[in-house]
Amino acid sequence: MNSINLAVIAGDGIGPEVTSVAVAALEKALGSVELDITSYDLGSDRFLATGEALTESDLQSLSQHDAILLGAIGDPRVPSGVLERGLLLKLRFAFDHHINLRPSRLFPGAVSPLRDASGIDFVVVREGTEGPYVGNGGALRIGTDQEIANEVSVNTAFGVRRAVEFAFNLASTRDRKHVTLVHKTNVLVHAGKIWLRVVEEVAAKYPDVTHDYLHIDAATIHMVNSPQRFDVIVTDNLFGDIITDLAAAICGGIGLAASANLNPTGAFPSMFEPVHGSAPDIAGKNLADPTAAILSAALLAKSLGYLEAAERIENAVEHDLANRGETKRSTDQIAQSILELI
């Protein structure tokens, strides 16, 4: 492949500011590889104008691309949950993004709130299409004191297995070759049994990879007290959502955290996005840190096999962070520095 057919959803708030920098970084790092970009105006403006968050024809058109780069979606004018379910989750389920990957490495120069943060370098593999996020639920007697709401967590051996296999395979390529399953198997016993069993089955196929288990509550303590113990964490959709925000916080904050929503089969394009949201409080003020979006573009390059381009971007970010110091810089200043380094 010497060209990439890229769909860009810049989205809301700071989305367009950080995405344009990420695209520029990708373009520069790819050198002679051509970037063929289609921009999509998905997000709150379109939703407010048309009442539709994501149509079948959007999905059809997006599916024709090699990958999707997303800025951020969310706007105070749109009720909470509407765009999350109607756009982000819809995309994730339609394209079967069953692996949510979040590298959590503390770059030298990045500031962690932890006293002993040196050497943090782990990856969270969050299952992306099951658990309590499937929309299997409902409510009775809504608005009364007798209201009952169900949000059923769906866990299948198939879904758990592909996440666990991805995690062990990833661990086998890393130095420490260790997988930690994070769950709450003592309380969520039915789902827990699947996860525990599948981890043992998959582990048997990876004799070089060690593994252990932590309850989610204990895992949060370890993540604050000794995050260096983690190499690859595999966990379900909800626990993964929570623990990856904690992981971002200890690795220098939300401005640096990148993520990938992967469909490793290649049947549909994978989607890459910063962990942060649309940050309406700082939108349009040249204050957003574009680093998370830039690192998401590096993940994109890596997943399409452009390893050198990915490395170029990561090295540039690493150099920039090492020299960043305490002074707060604007979006433009960070962008300029990283682009020059690339």
Catalytic center residues? 133, 184, 217, 241, 245
- 288 makes contact with ligand ATP (CB under 6 A): yes
163 binds, among Mg ion, ligand ATP, none (CB under 5 to 8 A by kind): none
CB of 69 to ligand ATP, least distance (A): 15
- 292 makes contact with ligand ATP (CB under 6 A): yes
- 289 makes contact with ligand ATP (CB under 6 A): yes
List residues binding Mg ion (CB under 5 A).
Answer: 277
Stretch that binds ligand ATP, among 37-45, 143-151, 206-214, 274-282 (CB under 6 A): 274-282
- Residue listed under structure tokens 């909470």: 80
Could you say which of 67, 279, 299, 313 contacts ligand ATP (CB under 6 A)?
279
CB of 57 to ligand ATP, least distance (A): 25
Query: Between vectors from CA 54 to CA 240 and to CA 47, what angle results, nearest 5°?
Result: 105
Contacts (Cβ under 8 Å, ≥6 apart) of 261: 92, 95, 97, 99, 100, 101, 128, 270, 271, 272, 273
Site string for ligand ATP, 192-211 (x = CB under 6 A): --------------------
Distance in angstroms (rounded) separating the CA atoms of residues 26 and 326: 27
Strand boundaries in the chain, DSSP class E? 3-11, 34-40, 67-72, 99-105, 121-127, 137-140, 148-151, 178-183, 210-215, 232-235, 258-262, 270-274
Helices 307-322 & 291-303 angle (0-180, nearest 10): 160
Could you say which of 65, 183, 276, 319 contacts ligand ATP (CB under 6 A)?
276
CB of 122 to ligand ATP, least distance (A): 21
Q: Which DSSP letter does residue 100 get?
A: E
Q: Residue numbers of the site for ligand ATP (CB under 6 A)? A: 14, 18, 74, 254-255, 276-279, 281-282, 288-289, 292
